[in-house]
Amino acid sequence: MPRITKEDKARNRHNILEAAGRMFRSRGTDAVGIAELMKEAGLTHGGFYNHFASKDDLVVEVCGASFAASLGGLARTIEDGPGQAGSPLERVVAGYLSSAHRDAPDGGCPSASLVTDAGRHGEAVQSAYAEGVEGYLLGFAAEFLREAEEKGHELDPGEARNRAVRLLSELVGALVLARAVRQVEPELSDEILRTGRGHALD
């Protein structure tokens, strides 16, 4: 029987994380069993414990990796600065509350897709989720401060933080609601997204 190389093991671990990220986002962590997950990753059930001590350990890693990818996208948008499509935060709002993001629950930002799971799991999962939320709040607050300085306005850091909390709460809330009613009330779902896009930065 051929030995598994370090490269093979790293690739297998990556495949598990990728499959888990998709399945956890679209169906929730509790609805996905290890056997089903490993089959989706193209691996055997027993191989799971060569990579993770428990399913909760996997959920923590998926949460962290998902937020890292999402926050990387936020950082790139902010670094690009203002453009024809608006300010960085306007582009973030437009992308987050888009029909494409709503209709792809297996991808996109974990702040909305994993919010219920984080609340139901233990401290390790909640800590990983909280760290991701904090990353968004820091990024949003810094951009509010930068925009104010660019316009010659004074903005208290505490107020920038309040705006960041409000913005993230509105984005997550609107996306969760829009996804919850999309199949039975598509027009309502579109209305929620449209209203959110129009007023999230008021």
Which residues are 86's β-sheet partners?
Answer: 83
90-129 pLDDT, tens per residue? 999 999 999 999 999 888 889 999 999 998 888 999 999 9
11-69 pLDDT, tens per residue? 999 999 999 999 999 999 999 999 999 999 999 888 899 899 999 999 999 999 999 99
- The identity of residue 30, as a single letter, is D
What are the CB-based long-range contacts (under 8 Å, 24+) for 168-173?
A: 168/111, 168/133, 168/136, 168/137, 168/140, 170/196, 170/199, 170/200, 171/93, 171/96, 171/97, 171/111, 171/112, 171/196, 171/200, 172/111, 172/112, 172/115
- What is the CA angle 89-92-97, rounded to 5? 130
Helix boundaries (H) for 81-156 = 88-96, 99-102, 110-113, 115-120, 123-150
pLDDT above 70 for 1? no
| Domains present along the chain, CATH in parentheses | 54-199 (1.10.357.10)
What is residue 98's three-state secondary structure? coil
Q: How confident is residue 2, by pLDDT bands cut at 50, 70 and 90?
A: low
Residue 152, phi-psi category: left (phi > 0), alpha (psi -120 to 50), beta (remainder): left
CA nearest to 20, candidates 141, 113, 98, 133: 113
Q: 0.75 cut: is pTM over it? A: yes
141-186 pLDDT, tens per residue? 999 999 999 999 999 999 999 999 999 999 999 999 999 999 999 9
